[in-house]
């Protein structure tokens, strides 16, 4: 086995450092069940992002808004962040209730939890941002795309209240 060249050593160090930075610069996502459990030790407001895989605005928020460093920092430090796919097929246990996937047609449907949290005036739209207080009560629902600046303003206001 040949020893590594200086270039290979420095490249390896850069890759490891880059990998560590990528790991630390992500928003911590919690399953809703875990956020509910964490509330018992440290109460925080829960930010729920309800989305689907096919929604372009949802994808844009995931790839831009939630990748913003300042958004990640405030979410990681002050909130429990939960990401819910509105078409999730797995059962989710939350607040003493089991929520299930609800088929609405052939290969279509939505998750009952997404509907319960994101339904505004009888309509479930994507993306929806839902804010829950530490008692799991909905304090805010917002449907539509939010830029990093808009979500920061919202999160800072909630954090100050």
pLDDT at 2: 56
Spans of the chain below 50 pLDDT: 7, 10-24
68-71's contacts with Cβ under 8 Å and 24+ in sequence apart are 68/148, 68/152, 69/25, 70/148, 70/152, 71/27, 71/148, 71/151, 71/152, 71/155
pLDDT at 72: 95
Peptide bond preceding 127 in cis form (omega within 30 of 0): yes
pLDDT at 3: 58
Give the C-alpha separation, 123 to 121, whole Å. Answer: 6
Task: Look up residue 71 and give its DSSP letter.
Answer: H
Give the C-alpha separation, 126 to 49, whole Å. Answer: 9
pLDDT at 17: 42
């Amino acid at each position: 086995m040949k020893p590594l060249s200086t270039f290979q050593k420095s490249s390896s160090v850069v890759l490891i450092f880059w990998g560590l930075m990528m790991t630390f610069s992500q928003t911590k996502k919690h399953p809703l069940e875990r956020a509910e459990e964490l509330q018992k030790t440290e109460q925080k407001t829960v930010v729920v992002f309800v989305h689907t895989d096919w929604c372009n605005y949802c994808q844009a928020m995931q790839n831009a808004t939630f990748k913003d460093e300042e958004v990640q920092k405030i979410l990681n430090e002050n909130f429990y962040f939960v990401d819910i796919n509105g078409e999730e097929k797995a059962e989710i246990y939350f607040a003493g209730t089991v929520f299930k996937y609800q088929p609405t047609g052939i290969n279509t449907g939505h998750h009952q939890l997404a509907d319960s949290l994101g339904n505004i005036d009888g309509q479930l739209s994507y993306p929806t941002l839902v804010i829950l207080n530490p008692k799991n009560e909905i304090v805010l629902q917002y449907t539509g795309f939010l830029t990093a600046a808009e979500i920061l303003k919202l999160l800072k206001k909630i954090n100050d209240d």
